[in-house]
Structure 1
């Protein structure tokens, strides 16, 4: 993001709110649909990936500095594996140091003789969207920019993302990066591009695998200090409580903004309310005012909470209605009780009742179990979805699944009992 552009955004946002010109998104009424004024938008439940809203969510678009969420994930993976420590220091190359001095871009100043900790650079990348800091983290993880971009691409493939274009670690237009740091054979006109679904996948993995990332993204400001250089970093996420684009009732605590001329105003946000955490992605927001990405995000968040709810449909260790028992053949008992292996919560439209849920049972082997049957044996799986829900899940699934297992064992009947059962079945078949 351009530092000059950010200053304009903050100023106009503050004036708009003071003058009462900003839309009152905090009172968004529950409706059957909402039109997010952006080129693309998406909302998901953070843990399950249940899609709650989608608009052009598969369309590939420039994503600007939202790219940094992917790089930050790789940094966290390196720390987790022991390859890096928070206290490790790294020194910038001449080209990265030069980029850091560009006051037209979001940066903290770096010196070629300076040593910067991984923690410092991590905070600067998330809070202040510092481009050179993110590139320096890439060097720390992979050795150079080319190898880091290769690692970013490889990570996307492991998540099943195939339609993304990644040519640098920052999301800047490629012509803003020194030739020494550009990906081989890339063009100056190249830029990172993804769909809203792709961005949501990255955000979901970052939140679920490293939830403490929110401890950084919710910080309203922080100071970057090294030697004589001191930079006050004000968070670009103006939806944080108390900042100029905050929305009453939404305690937004992340995640990442992005802005370039071609990407427009982008924002990946997250908030938890009523026990449900959601992730929203808004790409190239439209509308009046320079706080438009936050206005559209607030509108989307409020609509989701007004129109979706959590519904617990199974309880771990308890029977599921309609699937309480399973027939056992050649056993000392004619059937065996079943129970869910986990408590399952599905996210459904607010008007959904228990009668609106669809259950589909799939037996593991047969509709009947052959004795002997062991306790805790998997009998089958149960998929649950809301009738009429066409949005599905981020991973392409259309329902949630829970396994059903036996809560007791059933021994095989002895020879004489089996003979008696066989005679009984023979006579019953006659009639």
Structure 2
């Protein structure tokens, strides 16, 4: 990303703060479903419920949103004990040279400098520092090609099969030294993912390493403090509270911007409102002004929060309508009550009522044989809103709950079974005579 463009954004944000905070125009923008971007997506962060989708399956340039994949691998290496936050690394000649390019997003590194993993991690997330991200890649994998291989493998492990990943930073390939380019790639190659793919990456990062948000929400930090080339890193995400495009009705605390000529203005964001966390992806935002990615993201976030609600469709230990009991053969009692094994709540369109839920049951429907234990699973119930075609990020169209027995039913003794059989026999005869 061009450092000059970044400087302009920071300047605008600083002026806005000096004048007294986020503009009220942004906070009261009209709700609309028309997101002006090449692709856009919104999901509920925990379940992956898709809440909005526009051209979300097409692979497009992702620029520095790429760094989210590498950051995940850094966190994984730390969790596995392969790296520590205090581990120090020194840039090679090519990474050093790249870090000196002031036309790109960078923190200047020194040839003989030793930098902690923590400092490089912060620079990569807050300031989108390209050379810092590449140095992290070397720390994780040994060199750039091996790091790219790990990035590709991680995406495949998440079920992403349409990705093109050729470098760790998100820069166009022609910005990198030939030795740092992935083998057999060209000057014009770039990283490509779909909006859904980016959301999958962001969802895993937040779920597995939630404290990532403590870094992505930092507004400003000093890199390499105490040295003559210390760099003030102002977060390029100006939707953070107190910055130029912050919103008054929901709180944004991440994640990552991305900009190249071909990618346009991109942003993978996350926000909370009334306990609901969403992840949004806007790719190649259209419109005028340097904040267009944030204008479209604000519109997307607002329309998402406005149009969806959390609805409880099953309660742990309680019966589910239509599946309250099941017949028991040879039991001390003729039926056993059924209950849901967990509380299940779905995000559904706000106008959805209980009557508009669609239930689909698979399992035992006629009767079970005694003895049968408490909490014995007899089937599963899938639930979805009838008028919701979007489904989930993992391809599912509904959520499931297991239906279990609410109590133990013992087998009746022989005498009871004989008397019951005799009664059924004469009952059948009587039915034939009448």
Residues 363-402 of structure 1 show CA distances to partners (whole Å, capped at 9, x for unaligned) of 1x55422111111211211111111110000111000111
- SS state of the match for residue 310, structure 1? strand
Report deviation, 1:339.
2.1
Provide the alpha-carbon RMSD of the alignment: 2.0
2:372 match: 373
1:102 match: 101
CA contact (8 A) 2:380 2:402 kept: yes
2:112 match: 113
* 345 and 15 in structure 1: CA distance in 2 versus 1, 3 angstrom threshold: same
CA contact (8 A) 2:14 2:243 kept: no
Report deviation, 1:338.
2.1
2:3 match: 3
2:28 match: 27
2:305 match: 305
In structure 2, C-alpha distance between the alignment counterparts of 1:215 and 1:394, rounded to whole Å: 25
In structure 2, C-alpha distance between the alignment counterparts of 1:166 and 1:38, rounded to whole Å: 22
In structure 1, C-alpha distance between the alignment counterparts of 2:142 and 2:162, rounded to whole Å: 26
* 415 and 112 in structure 1: CA distance in 2 versus 1, 3 angstrom threshold: same
CA contact (8 A) 1:29 1:306 kept: no
Report deviation, 1:16.
9.7
1:77 match: 76
Aligned length: 426
- SS state of the match for residue 68, structure 1? helix
- SS state of the match for residue 252, structure 1? strand
- Select between 76-85 and 191-200 the one with higher mean Cα deviation: 76-85
- Select between 413-422 and 59-68 the one with higher mean Cα deviation: 413-422
Report deviation, 1:299.
0.5
1:401 match: 400
2:155 match: 156
* 108 and 429 in structure 1: CA distance in 2 versus 1, 3 angstrom threshold: farther
Report deviation, 1:23.
9.7
In structure 1, C-alpha distance between the alignment counterparts of 2:212 and 2:292, rounded to whole Å: 25
Q: How does 1:9-20 map to 2 (within 5 A)?
A: 9-11=9-11
2:48 match: 49
Gapped regions of structure 1 (runs ≥ 5): none
1:239 match: 239
1:256 match: 256
- Select between 98-107 and 403-412 the one with higher mean Cα deviation: 403-412
* 425 and 190 in structure 1: CA distance in 2 versus 1, 3 angstrom threshold: farther
TM-score by length of 2: 0.94
CA contact (8 A) 1:12 1:289 kept: no
Report deviation, 1:321.
2.6
- SS state of the match for residue 362, structure 1? strand
* 379 and 350 in structure 1: CA distance in 2 versus 1, 3 angstrom threshold: same
In structure 1, C-alpha distance between the alignment counterparts of 2:426 and 2:154, rounded to whole Å: 64
- Select between 131-140 and 316-325 the one with higher mean Cα deviation: 316-325
Residues 186-238 of structure 1 show CA distances to partners (whole Å, capped at 9, x for unaligned) of 11110000000000000000011111111000010111016433000000101
CA contact (8 A) 2:16 2:243 kept: no
Residues 234-287 of structure 1 show CA distances to partners (whole Å, capped at 9, x for unaligned) of 001010011111122121000000000000000011001011100000000001
Report deviation, 1:163.
0.4
- Select between 345-354 and 411-420 the one with higher mean Cα deviation: 411-420
In structure 2, C-alpha distance between the alignment counterparts of 1:338 and 1:423, rounded to whole Å: 29
- SS state of the match for residue 200, structure 1? helix
Report deviation, 1:5.
1.6
Residues 347-375 of structure 1 show CA distances to partners (whole Å, capped at 9, x for unaligned) of 01111111111122211x55422111111
